[in-house]
Amino acid sequence: MFVLDKHGAPLQPTRPAMARKLLASGRAVIHRHTPLVIRLKDRDADTCAVPGVEVGVDPGSKHTGLSVFHDGDGTRTGLFAVQLDHRGGRIRDRLAARAALRRRRRGANRRYRAPRFLNRARPQGWLAPSLRHRVDTTMSWVDRLARWAPVRAVHVERVAFDTHAMSAGRPLEGAEYQQGTLCGYEVREYLLEKWGRACAYCGTSGVPLNIDHIHPRSRGGSDRISNLAVACIGCNQAKNASPVQEFLATRPKVLARVLAQAKVPLRDAAALNATRQALWQALTATGLVVHAASGGRTKWNRSRTGAAKSHTLDALHVGELDAVACWPAVVLVAACAGRGGYARTRTDRYGFPRLRLPRVKQIHGFATGDLVRASVPSGKKAGVHTGRVAVRSTGSFNITTTRGTVQGIGHRHVRLLQRGDGNSYHHQAESEGDAPP
């Protein structure tokens, strides 16, 4: 748990049991509900010895893992882990829909208008909104962790995929391609992520997986990434040099799935390539000590400690380390939910207005997205409901919890826990490995 002194300066994080004891004794108050941050009433950071913590960052296209840990002579102790669920895909789809609507409106029964493209100046280092969102969200959480904990250094994984070589089928081996001893490691990691770390043909996971050519090389198949899949040893040997159409002739649904998934574009790899430099520059601008590491080193560290594959455990294993003593058993998942929209009208499928939203966002002191707790004494909805609230002008709110959405709760039963910050939170168990968490 994160701890602040009486002036709001960060102290060394403590255990949940100690935080409960401090709160029960009255020495501390809750500063933030999720993640839990307490503030001591009788402690000053200037009079305390604070060893400091470090932060590991495992950037991804859809999810980013962050881990707060204490590093003692090469042995890391995980203190806190958070997984960020990005909404870059939804931003891209919204922008594409807006562009289509504008294109249709400008060309429908109107005079001809010359196309306007490439006439807007873009600053150096400009990124598309769906990509900039990934960098800004990661940086906002790094800044938050630096406010809640005495962060001394940041370790970030800088993965680079050669999408041209992967799509063109040029081999990634040899002296002409300077990859060193980790040559091909990133391509294998990309294939594991693409196929969900399970056999493409039978779906078996948790077993050694080989790289298989969907269309065999002996029959003219290439080394393109779209012709590669991961397969267990049994399926790889059974398929041998036969085309996938013959191997899966009796399973047409599996065949259709494999062929469709093999043609998935390199969108995630391109997103990482586009944002890696911007994230690095943003981290170095914070003034913290920033260390870079490769994805191959992270995977090697994880294999030595016996940890399972997850974004938060990857963040814990970024960089140079000797061992990992423990990691948190529970991960905080922060899903980017946005802060609402400017539109005050809802339309039907034909585009005509059907509903007008209120012109104010706060109703009875609550706004949509706030974290609340409702204690309903009686009735069909009796009980305690904790989650994000959706306000209504009538004062009857909807609360989205981990078990679903509870509708029609009166505002008199609702108590505010935390103002909305654009995220929806829930906890999940950390992946279990060979090392004791």
Percentage of the chain surpassing pLDDT 70?
90
| pTM of structure | 0.79
Q: How many residues does the chain have?
A: 437
Q: Where are the domains of the chain?
A: 163-265, 359-421
Lowest mean pLDDT among 21-35, 42-56, 392-406: 42-56
Both tokens of 407, joined, read 């509708």
For residue 186, what pLDDT band results from cuts at 50, 70 and 90? low
- 251-288: pLDDT as tens digits: 999 999 999 888 777 777 778 888 988 999 999 999 99
Query: For residue 113, what pLDDT is reported?
Result: 67
**Which range, 95-99, 131-135, 186-190, has the best average confidence (pLDDT)?**
131-135
Query: For residue 403, what pLDDT is reported?
Result: 87
- 167-176: pLDDT as tens digits: 544 444 444 4
Query: For residue 106, what pLDDT is reported?
Result: 73
For residue 142, what pLDDT band results from cuts at 50, 70 and 90? very high
Select 359-421's CATH number: 2.40.50, 2.60.120, 2.30.30, 3.30.1490: 2.30.30
Residue 170's SS3 state is coil
Query: How does the average pLDDT of the chain come out, rounded?
Result: 86
Lowest mean pLDDT among 32-36, 201-205, 337-341: 337-341
**What is the rounded CA–CA span in Å between residue 160 and residue 142?**
22
**What is the rounded CA–CA span in Å between residue 182 and residue 65?**
23
Query: For residue 151, what pLDDT is reported?
Result: 95
**What is the rounded CA–CA span in Å between residue 190 and residue 67?**
22
**What is the rounded CA–CA span in Å between residue 383 and residue 434?**
40
The CATH code for residues 163-265 is 1.10.30
Please give the angle made by the CA atoms of 143, 147 and 151, to the nearest 5 degrees: 80
Residue 178, pLDDT above cutoff 60: no
- 226-249: pLDDT as tens digits: 889 999 999 999 998 898 999 999
Rg of the chain's alpha carbons, rounded to an integer? 26
Q: Are 82 and 331 in contact (CB under 8 A)?
A: yes
**What is the rounded CA–CA span in Å between residue 329 and residue 326?**
9
Lowest mean pLDDT among 38-52, 139-153, 244-258: 38-52
Can you give the three-state secondary structure of 182-193, one letter per residue? HCCHHHHHHHHH
Q: Are 373 and 415 in contact (CB under 8 A)?
A: yes
Stretch 106-115: mean pLDDT, rounded?
69
- 290-344: pLDDT as tens digits: 999 988 888 889 989 989 889 999 999 999 999 999 999 999 999 998 888 888 8
DSSP secondary structure, 78-143, as one string: EEEEEEEE--HHHHHHHHHHHHHHHHHHHHSSS-------S-S---TT---HHHHHHHHHHHHHHH
CA 232 from centroid of its chain's CA atoms? 28
- 17-26: pLDDT as tens digits: 999 999 999 9
**What is the rounded CA–CA span in Å between residue 435 and residue 437?**
6
Query: For residue 181, what pLDDT is reported?
Result: 40
Query: For residue 176, what pLDDT is reported?
Result: 42
Query: For residue 182, what pLDDT is reported?
Result: 42
Query: For residue 353, what pLDDT is reported?
Result: 87
Please report where in the chains the tokens 């999408």 appear, as a residue. 163
In sequence order, which residues have a C-beta less than 8 Å from that of residue 68 and are 6 or more positions away? 13, 53, 54, 55, 78, 79, 80, 81, 145, 149, 151
For residue 105, what pLDDT band results from cuts at 50, 70 and 90? confident
Query: For residue 202, what pLDDT is reported?
Result: 92
